[in-house]
Amino acid sequence: MPNKIKTIGVLTSGGDSPGMNAAVRSVVRKAIFEGIAVKGILRGYEGMIKGEVIDMNSRSVSNILGRGGTILKTARSKEFMTETGQEKAVRVIKDHEIDGLVIIGGNGSFQGAHILHDKWGVPNIGIPGTIDNDLGYTDYTVGSHTSVDTVLDAVDKIRDTVTSMERIYVVEVMGRKEPYIAVMAGLAGGAEEILYPGSEISIERIKKEIDSAEKSGKMSWIIIVSEGYGKAAEIAAQLEENTKYNVRGITLGHVQRGGKPNAPDRILASRMGAFAVSALMEGISDHMVAVRSMELKLVPYEKACFEREKDIEFHRQLYDLTKLLAT
C-alpha cells in the first residue's frame, strides 16, 4: 500500500541548471494540492546538515517559473559523504518530520540520494537537473535544452566576427564526459568541426581540412570543443603553430548554466516535479524521474548514475551530419 506522506522536503544540489526553479515550483504546488506540507532545504546536502530548512507554501514559488538558478540555493558537500555528515543530515530530516525528499540535481546528488535511501531509510525521488545531459535512461535533463540555446546564441555572435575577420575560432563548452552540448550546438550553429570526449580527431587532420577548404574559398571556421576533450586556448595554439592561420580560443564557462529556462525546460521541469511527488505518495523511493520519447518513467539511481546508455552512435550521426553540412 502507498505510504502516507504528510511532509515533503525539496532541495537543489550540485551545479545549478536553468529550470530548477520550475521544478521546485511544481513540487511545492503539487504537494500542497495533495494536502502535503512542504519544507525547503537550502544549499543542498550542506544545508541539510546545518539544518537550513524553511516552510514553503504556494506563494513561496510565485514568479519563479522563468528564473534561472535556484531560489533554494545550491552547494556541493564533502561532509555529506562522511558517515558523520550523513547522521547530521538524517537527524535534521527527522527533527522536521520530513517523510520523503525530492532531490533536484545530477549524478553526484543522486549518489547521495541513494545513500539516504539505502543506508538510512529516507525515501526520496530525484529530478535530473544538469546542463550536461549526462544521466542514463533519460532523453533529456532539466537545463540541457537551455544550455544549448545559450551556446548557440554565443556561436551565432562569434560567427559574425569570424566571417568578418576571416579567422578560426575554437569555442570551448561544458561537458567533461558527455558530448551533448558540443554536438547539439555544433550542428545547430553550423560549426565546421566538433571535438568531444571519445572522438579521435587529430589537430593535423583539422589543419589539412582547413588547407583544403581554403583552396575552395572558405576563409573562416568555428570549432566547438567539449572541456573533456581539451582546452580551447591550447587547441588554438596548436592549430596556429607553423601555419598562417589566425586562431583564437574562447571559453564560454559558467554563462552556460545561467539565464531564463526556455519553454522545453520549463515544461519538462514542471512535469517531472509533479510526477516526483506522485511517486513518493505511491511509496516509491531510490528512483530518478526520466523522460523517454516524451513519456515520464522512473529509473533506479544505480542505473541512471552507473549504467549510462547514452547513444554514442547517435552523437556520431549528428557529428557526421554537421561535417557534411559545413562543407
CATH number at residue 240: 3.40.50.460
**Which residue, 258, 293, 320, sits at the end of a domain?**
258
Would you say residue 318 lies in a domain?
no
Calpha distance 288→291 (Å, rounded): 10
CATH number at residue 267: 3.40.50.450
Q: Which residue bears the cell 561537458?
A: 175
Would you say residue 58 lies in a domain?
yes
Same domain, 54 and 102: yes
274: nearest Cα among 73, 32, 65, 62: 32
Same domain, 128 and 11: yes
Question: Looking at residue 4, what is its pLDDT?
Answer: 87
Q: Are 323 and 136 in contact (CB under 8 A)?
A: no
Would you say residue 218 lies in a domain?
yes
Question: Looking at residue 1, what is its pLDDT?
Answer: 46
Q: Are 23 and 73 in contact (CB under 8 A)?
A: no
Kindly state the cell numbers that stand for 109. 546528488
Active-site residue among 16, 55, 132, 149? 132
Same domain, 268 and 253: no
Same domain, 233 and 267: no
Question: Looking at residue 3, what is its pLDDT?
Answer: 59
Calpha distance 42→65 (Å, rounded): 18
Q: Which amino acid, residue 221?
A: W
Give, in order, the Cα–Cα distances in Å from 124 to each of 81, 227, 243, 286.
17, 32, 56, 6
Same domain, 220 and 275: no
Would you say residue 124 lies in a domain?
yes
Same domain, 134 and 210: no
Q: Are 256 and 151 in contact (CB under 8 A)?
A: yes
Q: Which residue bears the cell 569570424?
A: 162
Which H or E run contains 80?
Answer: none
Three-state DSSP string of 193-213: EEECCCCCCCHHHHHHHHHHH
Would you say residue 317 lies in a domain?
no
Tens digits of pLDDT across the chain (327 residues)? 455 899 999 999 999 999 999 999 999 999 999 999 999 999 999 999 999 999 999 999 999 999 999 999 999 999 999 999 999 999 999 999 999 999 999 999 999 999 999 999 999 999 999 999 999 999 999 999 999 999 999 999 999 999 998 899 999 999 988 899 999 999 999 999 999 988 888 888 999 998 888 888 888 999 999 999 999 999 999 999 877 888 999 999 999 999 999 999 999 999 999 999 999 999 999 999 999 999 999 999 999 998 865 567 888 999 999 999 997
Same domain, 137 and 245: no
145 HSE (CA, 13 A, CB side): 16
> Has this prediction a pTM greater than 0.85?
yes
Kindly state the cell numbers that stand for 25. 515550483
Helices 180-188, 144-165: crossing angle, 10 deg rounding: 50
Number of folded domains that form the chain: 2
Using DSSP, state whether 315 is helix, strand or coil. Answer: helix
Q: Distance from CA of residue 244 to its chain's centroid?
A: 38
Same domain, 84 and 187: no
Kindly state the cell numbers that stand for 160. 559574425
Question: Looking at residue 237, what is its pLDDT?
Answer: 94
Would you say residue 54 lies in a domain?
yes
Would you say residue 72 lies in a domain?
yes
Q: Which amino acid, residue 20?
A: M
Sequential DSSP letters for 25-69 = HHHHHHHHHTT-EEEEETTHHHHHHHT-EEEE-GGGGTT-TT-SS
Active site residue 132: yes
Same domain, 54 and 176: no
Same domain, 190 and 288: no
308 HSE (CA, 13 A, CB side): 13
Domain enclosing residue 248, as ranges: 144-258
Calpha distance 214→317 (Å, rounded): 26
**Which residue, 258, 283, 317, sits at the end of a domain?**
258
**Which residue, 258, 279, 296, sits at the end of a domain?**
258
Would you say residue 326 lies in a domain?
no
* Contact partners, residue 35, CB within 8 Å, separation at least 6: none
Same domain, 136 and 186: no
Q: Return the C-alpha torsion angle 66, 71, 72, 75, nearest 10.
A: 90
Pairing of strands 168-173, 100-105: unpaired
Same domain, 109 and 213: no
Calpha distance 203→221 (Å, rounded): 14
